[in-house]
Structures are given as C-alpha cells and as structure tokens.
Amino acid sequence: MTTDWLADAVFYEIYPQSYADSNGDGIGDLRGVIDHLDHLAWLGVDAIWFNPLFASPFVDAGYDVSDYLRVAPRYGTNDDMFELIAAAGERGIRIVLDLVAGHTSTEHEWFQTELAASGPHPDGDRYVWRTDPPPAPPVNQLTGVPAWVPSPGPRPGWYLKNFYDAQPALNFGWARNPDGEPWRDAVDAPGPQRNRQALRDIVDFWLSRGVAGFRVDMAFSLVKDDPGLSETVALWREIRAWLDVTHPDAVLIPEGSEPRIGGARAFHADFFLVILAEHACLFDNGFAGTLPFQVHQPPFFDAAGEGSTRPFLDGWARARHDDAERPIMLASADHDFDRLACGPRTAEQLGAAWTFLLTWGSIPCVYYGDEIGMRYLPGMPGVEGAICNPGYNRAGCRTPMQWDGTANAGFSTAAADELYLPIDPDPDRPTVAEQLDDPSSTLHLVRDLIRLRRETPALRTRASQEVVNDGYPFAYVRGGTHLVIVNPRRDVASLTDDRLRGATVLFGSRVDIEGDTLTLEGFGYAVLALHT
C-alpha cells in the first residue's frame, strides 16, 4: 500500500466559490486556485480538499450533483482541473475531491429519466420511489421537513430525499424489508447494484486522471433503515477492496467516524466533524448558532477558561480503542458552520488553538482563510442553501478569501454587489498580503508550526500521546520527547513536572520555566524538547 502519505499530511479545505475569482464574474474558479498555488506551497500544505466541483444547479452549494464526470462550468472545464492537478503535483500537493455519494440533484439525467417513466426502470431504479402515501415520517433534524417528496413529473407517487427536495436519495437498498413495503429494495437488488457500479465508475474516472482520493459526503447514509450501519459499512468495504487493487495509492475519508462493527476498516481515516461534541467542546462558542441536536457548553479554547477537553479526549479514545494508530482528521473549521475566529475570539487567542491543532497528532485540516484569522460573519444572505435552519447560517464561514488590500480584498474584480458573498466590511480585516510582511502574524505562526511538525516526527500522527494535564493548561507529551502546552484562557496557568527540568522551548509565546515549573500567561503556548 502507498497511502502512508496521508498520516503525515496537512490538508487545506477550499470552498471553491469563495477562494479566488480569475475571470471577474464574482465566483471563485479553478484558474483562481491555480494562480494561488504558491501560497499553499509556501504555507506547507500537502493536500487540498475541494468542496464539490461537479456540475450542479447549486441548490445546496454543489452538494446537489447533476453530472459527476464534469466540472461545473462556473469553475472552468475538466481540462482546467487536469491542469490544476498537474500544477499542484509539481509543488508536492495532492488533490482530494468531495464525493456526494448518497444523493444527486433532481436535474441529474438519472433522476430525469426515472421521473419521466410511468413505473420502475426495467434495470432497477436508481432512486427510492413509492406509490402508496407515506405516513407522517420523522422530520429532518436540521430542515424540519419530511423526507418524502411528491413526484413532480409523470411518474406517480413520492421519492425519498436526503436533505433538500432537490436532493433525491440514491437507492442503495434497505437493510430491513418488512412485508407491506415492496418499494424497499434489498441491498443486492438490481437498482442498488447499478448504483454501486456507478460509484466505482465515478471514483475510477477521477483517480485515473490524477486525483489522490475522496472525502465522502454523508458516507454512512447510503443503505436505509440500517441499524448499526452494518450494510453501509459492508458496501464501503466492497469499494475499498476494489480500490486497493485498482488504485492502491488512493484514500477514502468519510464525513464523520466509521462505525466500529468489527472487521477491516473501509476508510483510511476518521473525521471529527465541527458540529459534533468532540470538536465543538474545543472551539464552538455558540456565536454562529446552535443546531437542534447540540447541547451548548463553554468551549475549552475560550478566554473565560470554563471549558473541558474531556468530550474530545473521550471521543479520541473511542476512535482509537482497537487501533492505536488510526488516523483522525481534525479541522480548524469547515464550510458547514463557524470559523476558528468566531464572535469574541480574537487573533490573540488563535496561537494556542493552532499549536494544539498542528501538534496533537491528528491529520490537521486548515479551512481556507483560517490561516490568517478570517472571522465568521453573522447575518450573511442565505446563498445556495446556506440557511437550512433559522439557527444555522453556514454563509458566515463561506465569505470570500481575503488576499490583499485592493478592491474586494483581491478576491475578484467584479462589482461588490456581484460577489458570491460579501467581503468582510471591517477595514482592519486580515489579509494574506499584510500578514506576509508581519513575522508575528497568524499566517507566519501557522506556517512555522507546519514546518515544525514536518521537521519533528514526534509531533506527527504516528508518535505516542500522553496527556499530562487535561485542564488549564492543557499539556501532553508526544513521542516521549516533546511536551506541548497551551493556555487558551486569559488567566495565567502553570504546570509542575520533573520532566520540565532542562527542557528547551522550540516554539512558543508567553512562556516561562523555572526549575520544574512552567508558567503560561493568558493565551500562551509552547512546544518543548524534553531533556532525555
């Protein structure tokens, strides 16, 4: 296997609509990304994860795909994508795409074909249809609306959706098939088998052209009514077995953590989502809202110093219970909620967070703009489905990248009212250009930490972890040789440990050592080489 690169990689997530607009239409594109690859190479990232780039009507920002084998025209062409893959590869950067596996757009040819029919497809339906009226189902916990949608075309009945009405669920079968519900196909029925083959065809198309792998959206939503998700995991194991033979250097990363049901893993890593407790307990200060299933608690990386690392540490332990070296991706933020700099959290507070994110031993993922401390902007318009719940505005973390001090922060030459989303109106907003000239900036801090991580195997994924203190300050030893200590609160924190005698500070701020006691002022952080 040649996927060892994944464990030591630093990822960078690009929301393509908002990264860089090369043609002045107000929307980011692939040419804009190509033009800024040197920024990512300078920063030191190893892989770019793109949110969906495929053709789409963009009801849900591209997570409603109408053609999996074609780049959306607003981003460019397939040839532009192939050029990007090559140009990134020259800089040692791999490309990972977002694969929307569980549903398509209603504009996809597959759906339009079934919608125009009078009944089931002779080769098996790609979507889930029923002709009897559905009972009042549980509503989606985010959108608050039912899962069945009346057919808008000649085909009678209702179709099942995954999220918005424009996102019909692909038919991968049902784990349970009770009498009286003949529309539930078994997982080995013709329709589900057609979709399994289609998944392989899509994956093969892009991997054969140089893509390094996929982050799979809603990866565990495929087989319906699947207690324990055993049938869905079995499906992905089948894909993985095929992948290991045909593309052994490719990686699969799920949205979320793979269920532990025994047997081999289907995915190469887990992903701690920003909306779930393991990540939220660290960074979510509630400024961007609270989702219906969330119980808000003070985050650990908060100036008040009232948070706890326990939900994160307990989740980490569960994920690694039977595989101590299981890679786990941990992002600064992502396209679905808030940012690292959110609400009252200031640039001064980001150093402790970045020190943790880049030394803990996860696969770190930098959300575009977080490397300069771009902030979550409340009150943004609900562009392309960004507001799917009154308390859940995703647009605030999707605003255009802030490159420099020119018009539109260097994102686009379009008129301000033609931009995908408004630019941060703060005249003191951070920019790449400004921070490049400031060695004390967040940008240089992130770059320096990435370089330290690369140069120090004990700070990367495979080295051991020993938590020394799980409160304030949070301290842990990596590889038995390096101590990392962070104090995200405004008050002073200290740690006493014999191993601090003779330790050398490799990286840090607001740190003082006297004998076996280390003191961190508010928002301080340090990485130390222990005397061994």
Q: Which of 116, 139, 169 is the last residue of a domain?
A: 169
Whether 115 maps to a domain, the answer reads yes
Q: What is the pLDDT of residues 7-46, one digit of tens each?
A: 999 999 999 999 999 999 999 999 999 999 999 999 999 9
Q: What is the CATH number for 484?
A: 2.60.40.1180
Whether 459 maps to a domain, the answer reads no
Q: What is the pLDDT of residues 366-388, one digit of tens each?
A: 999 999 999 999 999 999 999 98
Same domain, 424 and 517: no
Q: Poorest-confidence range of 22-31, 66-75, 390-399?
A: 390-399
Same domain, 353 and 417: yes
Residue 1 has pLDDT above 60, yes or no: no
Whether 444 maps to a domain, the answer reads yes
Same domain, 279 and 387: yes
| Cα end-to-end span (Å), the chain | 35
Same domain, 314 and 386: yes
Residue 145 has pLDDT above 80, yes or no: no
Whether 197 maps to a domain, the answer reads no
Structure tokens at 116: 């125009």
pTM over 0.85: yes
Q: What per-residue string of b and e applies to 332-353 under the rule 16 or more CB within 10 Å gives b?
A: bbbbbbbbbbbeebebebbbbb
Whether 259 maps to a domain, the answer reads no
**Confidence at 137, pLDDT banded by 50, 70, 90:** low
Single-letter amino acid code for the residue at 458: A
Same domain, 310 and 344: yes
Residue 189 has pLDDT above 70, yes or no: yes
Same domain, 294 and 308: yes
Same domain, 408 and 480: no
State the Cα torsion 45-47-48-52 to the nearest 10°: -160
Residue 485 CB-density burial (10 A; 0-12 exposed, 13-18 middle, 19+ buried): buried
Residue 144 has pLDDT above 70, yes or no: no
**Pairing of β 465-469 and β 474-478:** antiparallel
Residue 442 sits in which domain range?
Answer: 4-100+270-453
**Confidence at 2, pLDDT banded by 50, 70, 90:** low
Q: Which of 413, 434, 453 is the last residue of a domain?
A: 453
Q: What is the pLDDT of residues 350-359, one digit of tens each?
A: 999 999 999 9
Please state, in angstroms and rounded to a whole number, the distance separating the CA atoms of residues 481 and 457. Answer: 10
- Specify the 3-state DSSP secondary structure of 117: coil
pLDDT of 90 reads: 98
**% pLDDT > 90, the chain:** 92
Structure tokens at 211: 């893509």
